[in-house]
């Protein structure tokens, strides 16, 4: 399992953690959902407005490309410190 500052990857899954202003979470989710099969957006921490994009390691470049194109419209930033416990608990539920 590889852990970066903003993502966690396993054999079959990857979780990208981002801080997104609450007002933009639904917009980001709609964009990601419109690319069928790319990923699923879930809230990891409501209070801090941290979301996770669950995808596969092979689809991570596609997700990062989408995020790059969304940046002017939907402000987001990768987490400086990945919430390992939250992510591992989330991935264990799958």
Q: For residue range 41-69, what is the model confidence (pLDDT) as tens digits?
A: 988 888 889 899 999 888 989 999 999 99
Report whether 81 contacts 35 (CB < 8 A).
Answer: no
On the 0-12 / 13-18 / 19+ scale of CB atoms within 10 A, 45 is middle
Q: What is the pLDDT of residue 63?
A: 93
Is the domain spanning 2-80 CATH 3.40.50.300? The answer is: no
Q: Give me the residue label for tokens 């396993």.
A: 10
Report whether 15 contacts 8 (CB < 8 A).
Answer: yes
Among 4-8, 21-25, 54-58, 87-91, the minimum mean pLDDT is found in 4-8
Whose CA is closest to 7, among 47, 67, 48? 67
């Amino acid at each position: 399992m590889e852990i970066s500052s903003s993502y966690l990857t396993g054999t079959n899954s990857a979780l990208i953690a981002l801080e997104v202003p609450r007002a933009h979470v639904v917009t980001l989710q709609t964009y990601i959902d419109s690319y069928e099969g790319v990923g699923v957006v879930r809230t990891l921490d409501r209070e801090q407005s941290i979301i996770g994009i669950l995808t596969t390691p092979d689809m991570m470049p596609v997700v990062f490309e989408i995020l790059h194109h969304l940046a002017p419209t939907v402000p987001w930033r990768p987490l400086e410190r990945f919430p390992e416990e939250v992510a591992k608990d989330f991935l264990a539920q799958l």
